[in-house]
Amino acid sequence: MRVGVLGGGMQGCCAALAIADRGVHVTIFDRNPSLVTRAGAANEGKIHLGYMYAGDPSLKTARTMMAGALAFEPFLERHLGASSPALRTSAPATYVIHRDAQHPPDEIAGYLKTVHGLIAEQAGRNPSAYFGVDLGSPPRRLSAAEREAAFNPGLAVDAYQTAEVAIDPLVVAEALRQCIADHPLIETRLGCEIVDAVAEPDHMLVVGRDGDGPVRDRFDQVINALWCGRLALNETVGIETGRAWVHRLKYGVSFRLPEGAERPPSATFISGPFGEVVSYGEGLTYLTWYPTCLRAISHDLAPPEWETYPADPVRSEVLAGTLTAMQEIVPALRGLDPGTLPEAMVKGGIIVAWGATDIYDPRSELHRRYEIGLSTRGRFHSVDPGKLTMAPYFAEACADRVMGKA
């Protein structure tokens, strides 16, 4: 059997590894010259346990995320090795309830507690699956003194220390590239734009174009892991989108802390259009602030080709604006100057999700992220990971689907 995986982001690479693990030959197509250079590399790598989704009281999003989170590290460890730098994690996140949160603080506190109960239940079967972290203890409420020391108390009305961590997506991307380059059953066709997929009696025909002209190749099964290109290709094989979706371009800022600077806490500000601090090891720090970092929205089937690394003035606006906003909430960041930050980088990517309105609307579908995963039409399987967190989980689902097991 030969399987074509369209899209060499995090989802496509994980799917290729899971399928090749079953002894099947896989070809990964991507329009970029290298694997995992788009959304899969441009995010902050939070491996969601579900705490973020207080806007979905049905808990379906939380349950989905924690299933993905518990599959994430075991998958990477199996394919990349237990000593891979890809498995290194950030400082665990404090969930900070913002003064302008979209839900009352006690409702959010109740939500965090309930989510923890579900995590403890799910992790009970595999207690070390989440990077070996102990998931048994509930989120710890910070004392008023702790909260006031770490955050601006005028904006941070309550705070809970959780066990949730992030990986460094650039390190994971590099490890995946190496693993795939060395894999005897996986080949890559890079620099190839996919334009069509056609169902034939015994095969799927994949149509693309690369620097040498048209590309046509036949496969027994095809996985559509194109992320922002997925909906457009789905329609060519008759998988209608049939509901509102939104492509959002979001940037984030990363830098190395200058010598002697205080390490900020990893923190996620909830619930609504706020932001995050991720404190990786060795001073590497990531910041995002939604009102500054969300730069464009498209409801087109295929979004415009937005820049991953924006040029000035956008770069400087995002860097300075994000740092200023976060300095207001996180005192540890206050001495930093955007003009002199070592290794300062602004990178961004597209977030694809169901919904008609942005997250400023508390009723937006963007607050519910569980309607993701696989849709199949014959030999064509389209996978929407929804989040980076879910990629290994759905990779196994893709492999089971092409093997006829699910």
Interface positions with ligand FAD (CB under 6 A) = 7-12, 29-32, 36-40, 42-46, 48, 193-194, 225-229, 250, 252, 348-351, 385-389
CB-wise, 141 or 209, nearer to ligand FAD? 209
Give the DSSP H or E segment for 278: strand 275-279
User: What backbone torsions phi and psi does residue 210 show, to the nearest 5 degrees?
Assistant: -125, -165
CB-wise, 159 or 350, nearer to ligand FAD? 350
CB-wise, 4 or 386, nearer to ligand FAD? 386
Strands 221-224 and 380-384: parallel
169-181 and 10-20 are packed helices; what angle lies between their axes, rounded to 10 degrees? 40
| Minimum CB–partner distance for residue 141 and ligand FAD (Å) | 24
Is 197:237 a contact under the CB 8 Å cutoff?
yes
DSSP code string of 188-208: EEES-EEEEEEE-SS-EEEEE
- What does the angle CA 221 – CA 224 – CA 230 come to, to the nearest 5 degrees? 155
Q: Which residues share a beta bridge with 378?
A: none
**CA 180 to chain CA centroid, nearest Å:** 20
| Minimum CB–partner distance for residue 173 and ligand FAD (Å) | 9
Three-class DSSP category at 166: strand
CB-wise, 111 or 286, nearer to ligand FAD? 286
Nearest residue to ligand FAD on Cβ basis: 9
CB-wise, 16 or 225, nearer to ligand FAD? 225
CB-wise, 13 or 257, nearer to ligand FAD? 13
Exposure b/e, 229-251, CB count within 10 A at least 16 = b: bbbbbbebbebeeeeebbbbbbb
Three-class DSSP category at 58: coil
CB-wise, 261 or 374, nearer to ligand FAD? 374
| Minimum CB–partner distance for residue 154 and ligand FAD (Å) | 27
CB-wise, 147 or 365, nearer to ligand FAD? 365
| Minimum CB–partner distance for residue 100 and ligand FAD (Å) | 21
| Minimum CB–partner distance for residue 201 and ligand FAD (Å) | 25
| Minimum CB–partner distance for residue 285 and ligand FAD (Å) | 14
DSSP code string of 235-277: HHTT----S-EEEEEEEEEEEEPPTTPPPPPPEEEESSS-EEE
CB-wise, 107 or 217, nearer to ligand FAD? 217
CB-wise, 24 or 228, nearer to ligand FAD? 228
| Minimum CB–partner distance for residue 260 and ligand FAD (Å) | 28
| Minimum CB–partner distance for residue 94 and ligand FAD (Å) | 15
Is 173:32 a contact under the CB 8 Å cutoff?
no
Q: Give the integer Cα–Cα distance in Å for 182 and 94.
A: 38
Exposure b/e, 252-279, CB count within 10 A at least 16 = b: bbbbbbeeebeebbbbbbbbbbbbbbbb
| Minimum CB–partner distance for residue 145 and ligand FAD (Å) | 30
| Minimum CB–partner distance for residue 7 and ligand FAD (Å) | 3
Exposure b/e, 13-45, CB count within 10 A at least 16 = b: bbbbbbbbbeebebbbbbbbeebbbbbbbbbbb
- Spatial CA neighbour of 112 closest among 154, 163, 45: 163
Helix, strand and coil content of the chain, in percent to the nearest 5, comes to 30, 25, 40
